[in-house]
A and B are shown apart, each in its own frame.
Chain A
């Protein structure tokens, strides 16, 4: 039986070879935090980490991932929802409907791991997830906050 190492546990699963990693995670491992948005790696709602890299799991066959590779989903990002990105997201009140936010958070966490102090240009090139509610400015500001860089002051209300 094929195996995957997800959130620190090696787990068996049963699926045809071409089954995307997303659907193994959601339907076999019952980790539903990772979302289906497009199935063609366009929107990023399905973003997980494989060995620390952000990967769009909807277009990656599960069979292409070995049990030596470490997969992390939102459920395994932090023990208590206290990853710096999650803390910053809470502080900035980022989500609206929230459906894309798990993918955003996983993409942001991977970016910060690689680039601890990202510039706006880094964010522009690395965060390519789609949000239909339109949280982009808060996403940017929360990434800066998570990096420990003071975010640009929010627009003043009059």
Chain B
């Protein structure tokens, strides 16, 4: 490994040391030199890919998934530590690099951190990693004492030989344990016996975030590094026609002006501010192409046509909905909803630092998927993956933007390729970040349902029209026009994103209509709008049937006990059926997604001037196993901020083919003054593993919209709320 990387290691480990040992920085694991000379005596050998125990008993747990705020780093460490039976106060963490994973035949499995999968899709093998390491440590102690391993027990990083009462710490036998053959049969604990997992432990990564020492992508410093600012054609699909580099080359600090791909121009300077200022002054002529004619209105018209189009892909079909809707004597209820484009707006804008030589390409970047970043670096550099490396830096928010596509990595590598040997740090301005997102998909939904004389729901057709994320990002996964992810929360009964109602005649189908605005996986993904469509319409049906919204739902949910249990938990805790404070009205919503069952009851008042206040939200979550209740609470609270921001303000509109909102002045966010009290009820029913970073977002908007209806009698069917006037006086 080269000088640059070594300096970075020193810098990062130095910052961690300064924090006082309560937490550690995310330094590159493995002493790079020891890797090249495996016999280096100073290196602490790993027990297995997941666990290193140092002679001073420090436990290093390797974390393959990225920490982007949702706490999975701490949760994963808890799971490993639980099975390792180690002293939690001695646990630290580190990221293996994507290059290491590649070189070791993916010893750490998948690096992808999205879809609330961090824990739910790796709990089994990380726990086995911890358990196998414990078995090897115990075996090593037994061999040292020349006693049967079965006579030894492990707890809190100490191995005890029962008969002789001898003890030894993990650190003392780690070296010997590392040489043992790993066990093949690795039993795991029953979660009811957990002592570290399942407990409301504090996060491992807090201290440096309070002192400014935490190094995010934008903070990286490398010797001789230059900085770059970039402007991509604001109209998606447009190209660079020309630019006048000479106009800015004499500005202070400017080193180079480069075209990046066919659609972007970057300025490289000694500081980022100088690069950005020069870029602002750089004359660029764009060839905007045909998309320059697209607007929000033209997109809406295309989606509207899809609502009644003949062709659509069915995602959930039960009975004969056509007949049910035509049956004599039924009351038909119909409504059309819509959900807008939104930007992820991570607080840290997209950024990457790249260093290219004809032999090697290195990238330092905050990413939700280090392996995808490595693939992007390889493609952009033209070097095979084995000659590339990615060092994951802490993420200032991810929310899905930093996972599936690594457009900013490709750009950084392309710029670095123009200046071989010089590290280039590319930071997007907020404006660039707003104009070049991978947006929450835009859809509309038309729902038509039949109620019989008794007010029972006999049939429902739910037609979704609009954008497919999968078609935009992984088009190879679209089969016969069907994007299965579009039906999140609406799937037939099963372990993932299933609908919580039994409706005798049901058709949920999708007419795919893909505008030119690139879609992305936006925290909560398609569960967000699908839950609004379904849960608000359920409220409309309850009203049409003259029934209480909770009672109406309960009757349809008898065969969905987990969905029902969280709905009941939220409703009971909120006091559904009992009087709310004067002027306050309640609304309900429930859904299942990302492996978990969630429900919310919102308490809302609407003033005469139309001002909405969300006073209190009670939220219930059944994630199967609750790995860290305190972090689940934090995710539920945070999900309401994300979900309520979307409901109140979230909207990117299109004019002239480009996004109109360029910064937080026109793309506002909910702030502390609008934050309701959140009461979290965790009802883990066991037997499965659900995610917690996303599902609750989906119930935020429909619970509030249903409460607004209760308060005002007005049905809001398209978001955000800022576009609606709820004035009554």
Contacts and interface: CB of A to CB of B under 8 A. Distances in A.
Contacts of A86: 210-211
A16 B209 contact: no
B211 A132 contact: no
A18 B273 CA distance: 10
B395 interface: yes
Interface string B652-685: 0000000000011100010111010111111100
Given A23-B272, A131-B641, A132-B347, A97 B672 contact: no
B664 A32 contact: no
Contacts of B45: none
Nearest to A42: B664
Interface residues of B, number: 73
B605 interface: no
B214 A98 contact: yes
B675 A136 contact: yes
A19 B273 contact: yes
B212 A31 contact: yes
A137 B637 CA distance: 8
B252 interface: yes
A41 to B, nearest CB: 9
Interface string A76-102: 000011000010011001111111111
B71 interface: yes
Interface stretch (B316-324, B626-634, B705-713): B626-634
Contacts of B396: 35, 97-99
Contacts of A43: 347, 664, 669
B353 interface: no
A95 B672 contact: no
Contact of B671 (A23, A35, A37, A129): A129
Interface stretch (B215-223, B233-241, B404-412): B215-223
B347 A135 contact: no
Contacts of A95: 69, 203, 206, 209-210
B640 A155 contact: no
A42 B252 CA distance: 28
A7 B273 CA distance: 22
A12 B211 CA distance: 24
A26 B198 CA distance: 40
- Count chain B CB atoms within 10 A of each CB in A45, A90, A130, A154 and give the residue with the most: A130
Contact of A137 (B69, B213, B216, B675): B675
A37 B680 contact: no
A140 interface: yes
B348 A99 contact: yes
B90 interface: no
Nearest to B271: A27
B71 A96 contact: yes
B221 A101 contact: no
A155 B349 CA distance: 33
A155 B430 contact: no
B421 interface: no
A34 B215 CA distance: 11
Contact of A155 (B219, B221, B273, B680): B680
Nearest to A78: B211
A114 interface: no
B211 A134 contact: no
B210 A132 contact: no
B70 interface: yes
Contacts of A134: 637-642
A151 interface: no
A36 B218 contact: yes
Contacts of B641: 131-136
B679 A155 contact: yes
B118 interface: no
Contact of A97 (B69, B349, B669): B69
Interface residues of A, number: 63
B154 interface: no
Contact of A93 (B202, B671, B677): B202
Given A31-B212, A39-B430, A43-B347, A130 B671 contact: yes
Contacts of B633: 154-155, 157
Contacts of A99: 216, 346-348, 396-397
A95 B663 CA distance: 23
Nearest to B641: A134
A75 B347 contact: no
A95 B430 CA distance: 22
A74 interface: yes
Contacts of A140: 672, 675
Contacts of A137: 637, 675, 677-678
B277 interface: yes
A62 to B, nearest CB: 10
Contacts of B170: none
A40 B215 contact: no
A15 interface: yes
A97 to B, nearest CB: 3
Interface in A35-82: 35-40, 42-43, 45, 73-75, 80-81
B212 A75 contact: yes
Contact of A30 (B20, B221, B227): B221
B68 interface: yes
Nearest to A30: B221
B347 A42 contact: no
B207 interface: yes
Nearest to A155: B679
Nearest to B203: A93
B429 interface: yes
Interface in B374-418: 394-399
B350 interface: no
A8 to B, nearest CB: 16
B345 interface: yes
Contacts of A31: 212
A10 to B, nearest CB: 20
Interface in B167-226: 200, 202-203, 205-216, 218-219, 221
A130 B669 contact: yes
Contacts of B205: 98
Contacts of B202: 93
A42 B214 contact: no
Contact of B682 (A37, A80, A138, A158): A158
Interface in B62-108: 68-71
Given A37-B347, A99-B397, A155-B633, 6 more contacts: A31-B212, A37-B430, A81-B19, A101-B209, A140-B675, A158-B683
29 contacts: A15-B273, A27-B227, A32-B215, A38-B664, A43-B347, A45-B347, A81-B19, A93-B203, A93-B630, A95-B206, A95-B210, A96-B69, A97-B398, A99-B347, A99-B397, A102-B210, A105-B210, A128-B671, A130-B347, A131-B347, A131-B641, A132-B397, A133-B638, A134-B641, A137-B678, A138-B634, A138-B637, A155-B678, A156-B679
| Shortest Cβ-Cβ A-B pairs, 7 listed | A33-B212, A134-B641, A97-B69, A99-B396, A134-B638, A98-B209, A96-B69
Interface of A: 15-16, 18-20, 23, 27-28, 30-40, 42-43, 45, 73-75, 80-81, 86, 89-90, 93-102, 105, 123-125, 127-140, 154-158
Interface of B: 19-20, 68-71, 200, 202-203, 205-216, 218-219, 221, 227, 252, 271-274, 277, 345-349, 394-399, 427, 429-431, 569, 573, 629-630, 633-634, 637-642, 663-665, 669, 671-673, 675, 677-683
